[in-house]
Structure 1
């Protein structure tokens, strides 16, 4: 059976896949306005309700590489529909919950949808003509920011003025719409690897990621030097070593470590970790600055709705930069685009250290950071796909997405430690100091510069590996 890219409805395919990405990022954002209210809403302690966030993170870490590999083997659209189905079911479970346990279950099911964006990028590689691929994958990557830009103010508005369950019903409805559109418009790719799924590899990687991310996300609560936290870090290291040994010896590994070790893939994934770290710092600092009371001398005393409106331009700028990223990559290569994105992010964070006293200043710096992230996120899929076989596209993109998630988790932990140790008393409350925020922003700027340095070691521009109409098509059995 031969395969050639579909060329009849490329615009519709791109629009539907981008919508699916936006819906997933909306799901991740919807709960943010509820976090301070969850103890009251669910009748649980503040430390326990953080599991509503942690469960999504852990489920996403487990699902992303596994679903990517299954997509390469059994069909990317099939796994995309599975992911959207989990989003719908999880949203519905959360929508009917009134206590902690069902909320955590619902949020975990929602986290299983995290593979939608890398799967969408992989489908684009299979289905789109080469001249459309760069801008389409950049748009798909930017959908992460677009969903946050739209979701945060909408969620804040609904949380303040309506029943909070409506947020999750809206997520379920949007997920169902996206699934129907995928089913009717997006074709199933014939590019598959076949073979047997590496179950031991999937279990081993899942256990290692669960131990690592659980230690990172809960270490501040349990104590970084506690036996539980250190035990989880140690277990993650041991399991990762055993997993790597297995993956190098099995015939059909979950992750082809030899491909992953190629300089272009390895350095892109390393840059993704650092970018994930840098991106999330803004989401941790700016909302707190906006919401802290003016009595602190640096807080702006704004509502959550105002926070959403201030942060919205960031995601919209990310979307606007998608075609720019594609043009730069086409003209100069994705390495240059990634380096430019890192430099812009570092500039934005550098400015944010001194521009934090007015709302317009925060809008400006978040937009600059969003522009840099849009450039970089558009380049990363191009770098990964240029270095891996077509048959491993979904797995490779999923691993790259996982690296970003690990970066955001580390960012949250580092920022939490800094802000917990640099505080001042405000009445009966303890709040982070302005210098604490500046330290976090400076660390994020330094992380962006590290990403710039990592990107500089990437190989120079090479011819695109994307098929053109004149090139011979591959067979499904070959998978390349």
Structure 2
């Protein structure tokens, strides 16, 4: 059921509160990346251990997001959004005060709870925004994923250049407090389904899903360090497959399952999730390769641009602006040409950006301009996914649907970053550890090939709502995406 019109909040204030909340997550996702060399030195650790500051965040996100999203559908999206912000604030303050790298890694894992803010925010928009504002709000909020991530790289570089690494977490803590205040003031609680609070929490399903995702992501992120054919890594993947099989059995026996497996086997939802996987993989080739390409000194490698961390962050910032702009342009495109159109444009732009970068990556400003194509593609793609999930998933499971779609994209991000890192490790200049230019070229061509796969996926996608269980309560309309169509 929707919030009565008379009680709707100010839509601009509501959107601002949700954007700040989601933005606080996306900033923290990438802010640590430029600080890794400094953290390695200050915490007296090695590069492999420091890399866990990224891995732990991904693991925490994958484990906690589907659980909080499903709980939001049952007990209130605003309530769970505040829970996520509170846990995010506590872990961020813990990270700022961390005495050693082990504590910092643990706090980073807990910070992963922040990813749940995106699916919760999308569910709030669907319930609380005026119908004519839903589509555009979906687009801008989802596009914050790419826009905030690019800004996080720049902010992290600026802070670490002149201040202690602890100030990164201090800055983030202030932003989280602001977000929580805005949510308390401007975000209403969404109306729950009758009897939702009486549904049992699927603890067993949550534990099994968390274990399966943890083993999968751990295997992906440790592939280079352990060796892709090592017994330990194969054991992780085998364990993940086994737990996913157990999840199928467990969820099919649950009266109130955490994951409606029939929904995620529904062909339109399956294709949408595969598209989300690619929207995670392709941009992360660029997130890993472009900063190194821009920062590599020319005297070390001929292809290097020799820019500082801050300079490279500034050069990549226009792509974040393109991401946000594309997210805002998704609604009219979908209204004119249908819900698949923005996702089709997304895959075309990312493919074009990858192809042109593979062929032509010798100039600083050319790289920045070409990355804008990828950024715009990401913006269209993120917004299109939010709209497609809303058009397929029953509205009382919207946060859960977006939560798992977000987790799938996170797995794709891990795959993309590890594939790019593997190329840099495998292709080096003879007699040195410096990556060869062919590592970058191959990475961009691989991203282009995956973009073509995405184009094919969109071509076969036929969005249609998933129908299961009892009819929705009176007054609850069938989901129609981000806007009526």
CA contact (8 A) 2:343 2:385 kept: yes
1:274 and 2:275 are equivalent in the alignment: no
Over residues 186-243 of structure 1, what are the superposed CA-to-partner deviations in whole Å (9 max), with x where a residue is unaligned? 0011134330111111000000001110011012111111111010000000110110
CA contact (8 A) 2:9 2:188 kept: no
Q: 2:287 aligns with which of 280, 283, 286?
A: 283
CA contact (8 A) 2:126 2:134 kept: yes
Q: Return the offset for 1:425.
A: 5.0
**Equivalents in 1 of 2:78, 2:3: separation in Å?**
15
**1:20 aligns to what?**
21
Matches within 5 A, 1:44-55: 44-55=45-56
**Equivalents in 2 of 1:76, 1:269: separation in Å?**
22
**Equivalents in 1 of 2:2, 2:277: separation in Å?**
37
Over residues 104-147 of structure 1, what are the superposed CA-to-partner deviations in whole Å (9 max), with x where a residue is unaligned? 12211211111111110111001112211111011110111221
Matches within 5 A, 1:239-250: 239-250=243-254
Over residues 302-328 of structure 1, what are the superposed CA-to-partner deviations in whole Å (9 max), with x where a residue is unaligned? 100011101111111111112211111
Q: Return the offset for 1:441.
A: 0.7
Q: Runs ≥4 in structure 1, deviation > 3 angstroms?
A: 1-8
**Equivalents in 1 of 2:176, 2:201: separation in Å?**
27
CA contact (8 A) 1:333 1:460 kept: no
Partner SS for 1:253: coil
Over residues 366-416 of structure 1, what are the superposed CA-to-partner deviations in whole Å (9 max), with x where a residue is unaligned? 111111111111111111111111110000000110110010111122222
Q: Return the offset for 1:67.
A: 0.8
**2:447 aligns to what?**
444
CA contact (8 A) 2:40 2:46 kept: yes
Partner SS for 1:300: coil
Over residues 269-295 of structure 1, what are the superposed CA-to-partner deviations in whole Å (9 max), with x where a residue is unaligned? 011001110111110110010111102
**Equivalents in 1 of 2:389, 2:463: separation in Å?**
14
1:386 and 2:391 are equivalent in the alignment: yes
Q: Between Structure 1 and Structure 2, how many residues are aligned?
A: 465
Q: 2:341 aligns with which of 336, 339, 364?
A: 336
Q: 1:304 aligns with which of 295, 301, 309?
A: 309
Partner SS for 2:433: strand
Query: Quick check: 58-67 or 353-362, which moved more?
Result: 353-362
Alpha-carbon spacing, 1:202–1:237, altered in 2? closer, same or farther (3 Å): same
Q: Return the offset for 1:168.
A: 0.6
**Equivalents in 1 of 2:175, 2:463: separation in Å?**
41
Matches within 5 A, 1:65-214: 65-192=66-193, 193-194=196-197, 195-214=199-218
The normalised TM-score by structure 1 is 0.94
Alpha-carbon spacing, 1:2–1:357, altered in 2? closer, same or farther (3 Å): closer
**Equivalents in 2 of 1:445, 1:2: separation in Å?**
42
The normalised TM-score by structure 2 is 0.93
**1:466 aligns to what?**
none
